[in-house]
Structures are given as C-alpha cells and as structure tokens.
Amino acid sequence: MTTAMAESAVGGSPPGAPARDTRRRTGRIRRIGLPYLLLLPALLLELLVHLVPMATGIVMSFKELTQFYIRDWGTAPWSGLDNYKVSVDFSAPVGQALLHSFLVTVGFTLLSVGLCWLIGTAAAVFMQDTFRGRGLLRALFLVPYALPVYAAVITWVFMFQHDNGLVNHVLHDQLGLTDKPSFWLLGDNSFVALLTVSVWKGWPFAFLIVMAGLQNIPKELYEAAALDGAGMWQQIRRITLPSLRPVNQVLILVLFLWTFNDFNTPYVLFGKTAPEAADLISVHIYQASFVTWNFGAGSAMSVLLLLFLLVVTGVYLVLTSRGRRTADV
C-alpha cells in the first residue's frame, strides 16, 4: 500500500500501461477509502450512543408513556401528537411552565454566553503581553475549566448557603452591602447564582479558544498598524476582532449550545426541582420525565428543544458564513 500510495502521489505512470493503471486505481480507492475506514468506529459509536437513543426518544414522544408502561415501553399506547399539543398549549399549565422555562433559558443563555465571551476575550488580550507570572496566571485561569463539574458546583452550593455561606459572609457581614443575609438558592436571586456559576465555569473555555486564535494573527499587522499610528484600541478594533471573527463564530455557537443545554450546573445547584426564576429547560424536561413520570411529554419537549436548536444553529451558520463570504470579496 505504501508503494501504491507513493507512486500515485508522484503520479509518474505513462499512459497506456494497463497493469500500472489498475494498480493506480486501487491505490486511489484505498487512499480515498482509508479516511472513511478510520472514521467507521467513531461513526458506529455515534450511531449507538446518540442516534439510536435519539430515534428512541422521538418514538417515545408519540406514546403515552407513564409509570404503567415504563417497564415495557413498547406496549405503551400511541398518543399521536397529544404530547406535543400539551407541550405547546400555552394557555394550560404544562405549556405555560414550558414557555416560562424556555424564556428563562434564552435570557440566561444570552447573558451567560455574552459574559463568558467578554471576560474570556479581555483576559486573552491582556495575556498577550509577556510579564512576570504570566504562565502561572494562565494556568490559574483554566482551573474552573479543569475542575470536575460536580465538585466545582457543590462548592458553590456551600458558598451560597444562607446561614454559613461565604457569599453572605462577604456581602453582608464584611462589606455590609445587604441589610440582611440573602437567599441565593431560593427565589429570584437563584438566577444570579446560576449565572455566576455558569460564567465562572464557562469563560476559561472562551479564554482558551481566543488565546489560540490570537496566536494566528501575524505580528507584522500590529507592527504596521503601530507605524501608521494606530493606538491600542484601534488595533483591537481593526485587527484583533476582525481576525478573530471565524474563531468567535465557532466559539459563540458552541458556548450557546452548551449553555442552553446545560444540565449539570442547575441540577447540582438546585436539585430536581429548580426555583422558578432559574428553571432551565434541561432540568424542566428532566422533571417532566423523571419526577412526574411523564416520559412521553418529556420526550416531546426534548424533540421540540432539538428542533429549536437546529433552526437557531442553521440560521446562525447561514448568516455568519454569508457575512464572511461578502467580507472575503
């Protein structure tokens, strides 16, 4: 195979030599086939781990799946579009709650992604200059990203405790910013708590990606700009941000999807039922399925969520890539 590939790569076979021609062809087939062969295990696993359960979930969403049928869910009666109708009937409690949860999630995701990006980018730009302790600081920045989610979030739970938590201790006891200790894991403040943890956990990823992106920008651009008299702010606006555009496009999309679907953070912070103000959609669907044992409706909500994310992602990709194409021209 090595020889075949080497020869075809050189491409030096004269025309009209049938034996060599066949060899070259098999060589080409092998060369084209090899990547697919290498991808095959991953594809198979992808099929098993994601596509099969997803298809199962879609089937479940059309069934009346409650505790009476979970043992043998194949026997659950078909319910047609009932689960979907209930989920999107915004005049009834189930639909209302889903809509509320959806809106909370949208607001939360926009804020969280925005803050993660802002902090991550600021930190990355700041870390471009060499200074003493840069390596150490960079390593420290990545700690939230490296910690296991559960361990990190449970620590936040301790810090947010009403009576003995560090947050109230600092805000109330030491700084005197509040006139009485606040609840962070109950009521409206829970949104702030959730956002804090999410941003704390998410910005190092933005930092990492933007930092990688920055290293691809040729230094000459800055030197030339400096010669032309551009200041730091102008350099950031005219060179750094446009050069980071493709990186940011991907970064923001990935952050958006991760944040929108985040289950671990709210689940560890609040348990099975989140306060209304922080009722993220992933936990909401979990609650519909595993707490109220209505697996059919839970599946329908999952499918709706998938459709929504597909549409948003599609629109986003079309818009951003069109923007780049015109920019390239």
Partner 1 sequence: MRRIRAAAAGAVTISLLTAATACGGGSSSGGSNDSPKTLTYWASNQGASVEVDKKVLQPELDKFEKQTGIKVKVEVVPWSDLLNRILTATTSGQGPDVLNIGNTWSASLQATGALLPWDAENFDKIGGKDRFVDSALGSTGAQGKDPAAVPLYSMAYALYYNKKMFADAGISQPPATWDELIADGKKLSKDGKWGLGAEGSNPSENIHHAFVFAQQHGAGFFTADGKPDFTSEGAVAAVKQYVDLMAKDKIIAPGNAEYAQNQSVSDFAKGKSAMLLWQSASANLTSQGMSEDAYGIAPVPVQSGTPGTGTNVNSMVAGINLAVFKNTDNLDGATKFVKFMTSDAEQKILNKAYSSIPPVKNAQADPTFNTPANAVLKDTLAKSAAALPQVADESQFETSVGTAVKELFADAAAGRPVTTESVRAKLGKAQQQMPTK
Tell me which residues touch partner 1 (CB under 8 A).
50-51, 53-54, 56-58, 60, 66-68, 70-74, 92-94, 97, 161-163, 183, 185-187, 246-247, 249-250, 253-254, 257-258, 261, 271-273, 275-276, 289-295, 298-299, 302-303, 305-306, 309-310, 313
Report which of 224, 227, 219 is spatially closest to residue 243, judged by C-alpha positions: 219
Q: Judge whether 72 and 59 are in contact, CB under 8 Å.
A: no
Q: Whole-number minimum distance, CB 66 to partner 1, in Å?
A: 6
Q: CB count, 10 Å around CB of 276? A: 14
Copy the structure tokens of residue 246.
């493709």
Q: How far apart are CA 175 and CA 168, in angstroms?
A: 10
CB nearer partner 1, residue 7 or residue 183: 183
Nearer to partner 1, 198 or 302 (CB): 302
In angstroms, give the least distance from the CB of 224 to partner 1: 22
Q: Tell me how far CA of residue 112 lies from CA of 98, 107, 180, 203, 317, in angstroms.
A: 20, 8, 27, 9, 20
Q: How far is the CB of 186 from partner 1 (least distance, A)?
A: 4
Closer residue to partner 1, CB minimum distance, 8 or 116: 116
Question: Which ranges constitute the DSSP H helices of 127-179?
Answer: 134-141, 143-146, 149-159, 166-168
**Is the CA virtual torsion 269, 106, 66, 296 positive or negative?**
negative
DSSP secondary structure letters along 256-269: HHHHHH--HHHHHH
Nearer CB in complex with partner 1: 187/323: 187
Could you give the angle at the alpha carbon of 45 between the alpha carbons of 295 and 72, nearest 5°?
Answer: 30
Q: Give the start-end residues of each E strand in 274-324.
A: none
Nearer to partner 1, 2 or 326 (CB): 326
Q: Is 48 helix (H, G, I), strand (E, B) or coil?
A: helix
- H helices then E strands: how many in the chain? 16, 0
The nearer residue to partner 1, 58 or 236, going by C-beta atoms, is 58
Nearer to partner 1, 222 or 258 (CB): 258
In the complex, the smallest distance separating the C-beta of residue 65 from partner 1, rounded to whole angstroms, is 10
- CB of 10: closest distance to partner 1 in angstroms? 26
Q: How far apart are alpha carbons 229 and 227 in whole angstroms?
A: 5
* Smallest distance, partner 1 to C-beta of residue 143, A: 22
Closer residue to partner 1 in complex, CB, 50/134: 50
SS3 content of the chain, % helix, strand, coil (to 5): 75, 0, 25
Measured from the CB of residue 163, what is the shortest distance to partner 1 in angstroms? 4
State the nearest-atom distance from the C-beta of 326 to partner 1, in Å. Answer: 16
Choose among 212, 214, 199, 209: nearest CA to 144: 199
